[in-house]
Amino acid sequence: MLIVSALRNFVKRMINNSGGIMRLTKLISLFVLIFFLVTSCSTIDKLKEKISSDKNGDTKEDTKKEETKEVTSTDDLAFYNKYIDVSNKIQEAGEKVQKDYYNDIPDPKSISKSSFIMAVSMGLSVDNLERVTKEYRRSYFDGGELSKLNAGSEMKNEIEGNLKTLLTEMETYHKVAAKVANYYKKGEYKTDLSSAEPYDAEIKSAYDKYKSAFDSFSASIKKYKPKRNIRDPNSISNPDERSVAILMNAYENTLDKAEEFYEAFNSVEYKGDLSKAKGKFNEFELSFKEDKNTVLSGEFSEKTKYMKYSYEDYFVKMTSMFLDAGNKFFDTAPDAKDVNSFNRAYDDVVNNYNYMITAYNSNINIVNTFRVY
């Protein structure tokens, strides 16, 4: 109250004095100006501080999330792709031994000392099984490519655990198969037929254990197949990102159709029904041709042309070789004169399939490492 009364008296004196009103007006204006400057500076400082804080905080959080998502996704995809390749080659090696055993070796009960058994194909298959087993054991346990792959811990632990079990069974399977192959290749059966039936039971048992381990390994890989990211290139404004989307769609479509084919093809047998595998092969061929046309007709800048050229010169070439082998197989397999002719055509398809998958893994890594700046 005292302050209000003092101010009232001060204002009256200013008004009563000559020129007091003018001085009062100037004084009030000065106070208003000072108040405005002080409050404005404070507000601006707080606003700048808030903007700076929000900007720094948001950038760090967004970058961290994007980097984590990108690294995890890329690593999981590379891990999956590589192990699909490993699975295909192990399956090829293991199954070939068993097929050649049945093709080269007659029913043990029918074998006599005068039987003519060469077991050449089986011997070559056994050697290949040993090579594949050593290749992946060294790759995983001795600082090779498999030891350097990263993925989510659950995915990595389960698949690698099954690989270690499988490698152990492969070694056992190889030792048994090598013993059996040598028994016939070296003509030991001619002087001692007593081992023929026990060896037959032993190799079948070793194969069954290998097959069980392989099935667990294969199932664990398929369990962690990365979810497809369906991209719409037409919705992407950046031309380089659009080019990458076109390539990724083409590669992933091809892989999906290839896996569907291989699953059906793996079960075909001499004089058996080929219709399911043939249908999947036709679907693959049609899908690949459509995706190839999309890629080759797409626009690529100077920054992305090398990926298009790699697709055209390497992946398309390997896939075309696979298609040639497949078409030849389905043209000749129904009328194959014997099981060996059938198996040669079958093996040619498998080998070219694996070459195509190797090309896929190489090229998809190139695309995954491309960054738009």
* Whether the predicted pLDDT of 62 surpasses 50: no
- Own/partner contacts of 183-186, CB < 8 Å, gap of 24 or more, are 184/104, 184/105, 184/117, 184/118, 184/119, 184/122, 185/118, 185/119, 185/120, 185/123
Q: Give CA separation, 165 vs 57, 100, 251, 293, in Å.
A: 47, 24, 31, 43
Q: Which two structure tokens, joined as six digits, stand for 30?
A: 């000065």
Which whole number is the average pLDDT over 128-133? 98
List, in sequence order, the alpha helices (H) in 142-195: 153-185
Closest residue by Cα to residue 136 from 98, 184, 174: 174
Find the angle CA(22)-CA(24)-CA(28) to the nearest 5 degrees: 120
**What three-state secondary structure class fits 298?**
coil
- Please tell me the pTM assigned to this model: 0.70
Which whole number is the average pLDDT over 64-70? 30
Q: Which two structure tokens, joined as six digits, stand for 168?
A: 């152990």
- Residue 211: how many other CB atoms lie within 10 Å: 16
With tokens 């190799």, the residue in question is: 203
Helix H or strand E encompassing 276: helix 275-297
First to last CA, the chain: 69
What's the CA gap between 209 and 207, in Å, rounded? 5
- The answer to which of 27-31, 215-219, 251-255, 259-263 has the lowest mean pLDDT is 27-31
What percent of the chain lies above the pLDDT cut of 70?
80
* Whether the predicted pLDDT of 32 surpasses 60: no
What's the CA gap between 330 and 333, in Å, rounded? 6
Closest residue by Cα to residue 96 from 84, 88, 107: 88
- The answer to which of 6-15, 55-64, 75-84 has the lowest mean pLDDT is 55-64
Question: What local confidence, expressed as pLDDT, does residue 368 receive?
Answer: 82
Question: What local confidence, expressed as pLDDT, does residue 5 receive?
Answer: 52
Which whole number is the average pLDDT over 270-298? 96
Round the average pLDDT of the chain to a whole number and report it: 85
Q: Which residues contact 199 (CB under 8 A, 6 or more apart)?
A: 108, 179, 180, 183
Closest residue by Cα to residue 333 from 322, 344, 319, 318: 344
Residue type, 134: K
What's the CA gap between 288 and 293, in Å, rounded? 9
Which whole number is the average pLDDT over 270-293? 97
Alpha-carbon torsion (288, 291, 293, 299), positive or negative = negative
- Compute φ and ψ for 110, nearest 5 degrees: -95, -5
Which residue has better confidence, 68 or 166?
A: 166
pLDDT band, very low/low/confident/very high, at 67 (cuts 50, 70, 90) = very low
pLDDT tens-digit map of 189-244: 999 999 999 999 999 999 999 999 999 999 999 999 888 777 899 899 999 999 99
Which whole number is the average pLDDT over 76-91? 92
Q: Which residues contact 129 (CB under 8 A, 6 or more apart)?
A: 93, 94, 96, 97, 170, 173, 174, 177
Find the angle CA(276)-CA(170)-CA(359) to the nearest 5 degrees: 55
Q: Give CA separation, 305 vs 112, 296, 299, in Å.
A: 65, 11, 9
